[in-house]
Structure 1
Amino acid sequence: MTQHPTSDARRPANRGPKAAAGNRAALVAAAREIYAVDGLDAPLSRIARRAGVGQGVLYRHFPDRDSIASAVLEENVRQVEEAAAGEGASFAGVLGVVTWHLVQSAAFIGLLHADGANGRSHAHALAPDLSERFARALRGCLPDGHRLAAPDAPDDLMLAVAMVSGAVIGPTPEERERRALAAWRLLGITVGPVAPFQQ
């Protein structure tokens, strides 16, 4: 019987050293897709196949499992920071980007809940810094007088995000998004369109 390759089994020809930046971006995008479905323990060979590169290319960019997981988490946080710093950024709009990442990345949810104290991996070691950058970006776009900006309750904003992330469960992205939006609504918080940040 002939086996037909799955979409992540097809691999184009090697694009050579000039394609390094594109290869790295493809690997991070592939890792995000694979981790969304299979978690951080997914085989690295699947990530390489999905990105359309060989495993040698993967290891040139990311010498171990932790380094690629860290790159995915770093990209999540960077997108939130860019959304918050963009011209005309609104809190609701940034929350739409945050919600998209919560729906798409179990690893991102793990980052928000990581205390960094007992983690052994590089990704866990980066968690406190990434979490602080994430919180700083959100706080920076909170409107004056917003109830999550109360000076006597400085942790309320991150507590709200953690509560919503706990509601992001379900078998499909659509169900996870529906539950996330319901959780924000129950907290009385308006969220903009759920989408990745686009420059």
Structure 2
Amino acid sequence: MTLLQAVVSFALVAGLLTLVPGLDTALVLRSSISKSRRFAFATALGISTGAMIWGVAGAVGVSALLAASEFAYRMLTIAGAAYMMWLGLSLLWKSRRQGKAAPTGDNPVPSGGDGMVKGWLTGTGTNLLNPKVGVFYIATIPQFMPAGASPLLVGILLASVHCILAMAWFTFLIFATGYASRWLKGVRSIRIIDSITGTVLVGFGLKLALEPAH
């Protein structure tokens, strides 16, 4: 397998997985609808940052350690589950408070650097605390490793391809959501979206915490 063949083959696999609705998609959609386009892009960049870190980690063997060590994998799983549940419960609590409060309009995230950093940290933390992302890379990178190639360089290249595909998909979602913002940015709509996203996050966290070790 040549390097070009490896990249094209991996892009097909990563592209199909990117289109499958999941936690990352839910976070980006929620950020775009209830916050702002800039916040959504910051969240998407954070998700890609986490994926890139996992890709490099997989290339240098950190993900292999997690796959081999049940204790390390379990500790990261518990931390990730706790983080997902905290995010989800925060959104559920926020939606409940919005339901009790008078509809005085939207509460957009600050448009300055603080809001961008918050979005980026949310996206990065979500991916870094999801060990399944690491397992994905440790499972796929060896399959697309050309003979004689540097594992680190190939890992970075494949992770970059994954991030580019993900950002392209997130960009489409963010702009598509923007066209429907007139109907989606009302207080009632945001409350419903927060409730749905919060429930998804809590459910994902519970599933992550309760699933048996690999």
Query: What TM-score, normalized by structure 1, do the two folds share?
Result: 0.30
Query: What TM-score, normalized by structure 2, do the two folds share?
Result: 0.28
More helix by share: 2
